[in-house]
A and B are shown apart, each in its own frame.
Chain A
């Protein structure tokens, strides 16, 4: 029996199809913070990547601006149930940052100014899935939304898109970050509604 009705295949993906289970649409951009907003000036900003053998790569703001940047339009989904469609960001792909980094690590612990951390499989930061974003909607990323630069990993719940990113630690073994250690899911796929541990 054919469960697919004629005309269903190839239909453009509508708004409802882009809303993961348990989410609602918002036109706002809510601000959720676990601490005070760090005031980081461009001249003092630095991004580092550390590999499992201790090798450290760093980029100043000027270095970051010299790298090829991309403009991407993506949907974002917060674990607190709001989703925002067609958000426009500009940033440097993590693929670009890691192009010359040799590692055998399978996981990443992302560190932020202010002490926040979040863990992800390294493969979720690669292949055009993640950026270090510094513009939102055509303007400099505002500090309350993670400026000067935040991680952007739109296919996972937005707590993985660490605001005020300062470092990516490549590690052989996974360990939980700030929220993952306190009841939130290790991976956080919104389409599988992985909000809490055990989901």
Chain B
């Protein structure tokens, strides 16, 4: 089986600056790391590889330094890495990103299963997985929280939906996005780091894509216009209640119920 995992390099902290004029994140000089959700996608792929046998490929779009996350993926046990890097890919919104990834995946070879993290911690849209599947014209499910059986033809998975859990069987080739916590991600191995030091990372540019029209990529290919980016307000409401155990328990229950925090338990 061939598995492709889409990964992304994101800022290492939430304390990032935003360019006030362009509304774009200032990435220069900021520590970066692998998108935490992608660790679960990678772990899922590596578990399938260990149980059923598979070749795992990672693909990422970004500047040259995004190689770092591919190296980290190698250190976790990934076999091949592709970097989609071209100035003309820059400034892409969700749609242009998904399109570029779809073109890159087609250029990278055949696949049975694509796994994405549920979302990224910088963009937080959780749309790339689904849009990528549409561009590739393959079925997909999102929010996978548990894997079921895997046959030659399909994969069965549990989906963590807002009000219930669903189970779906999806025919290959297909795409899934996985939830945080599906498996505990393994740590990068120093032994693998030594072993994969010289492993090649294939860089793909616009010239390697089947659609070479630059208007479909980057800022040009992005219908979204970002007016302003700002960090969410940090709510830190505190209430102190007094009373005996029974009163406090009742009050807490009522509070949780009125805030709809208990919805899922019902």
A and B associate: no
Q: Which residue numbers of A lie inside 8 Å of B, CB to CB?
A: none
Q: Which residue numbers of B lie inside 8 Å of A, CB to CB?
A: none
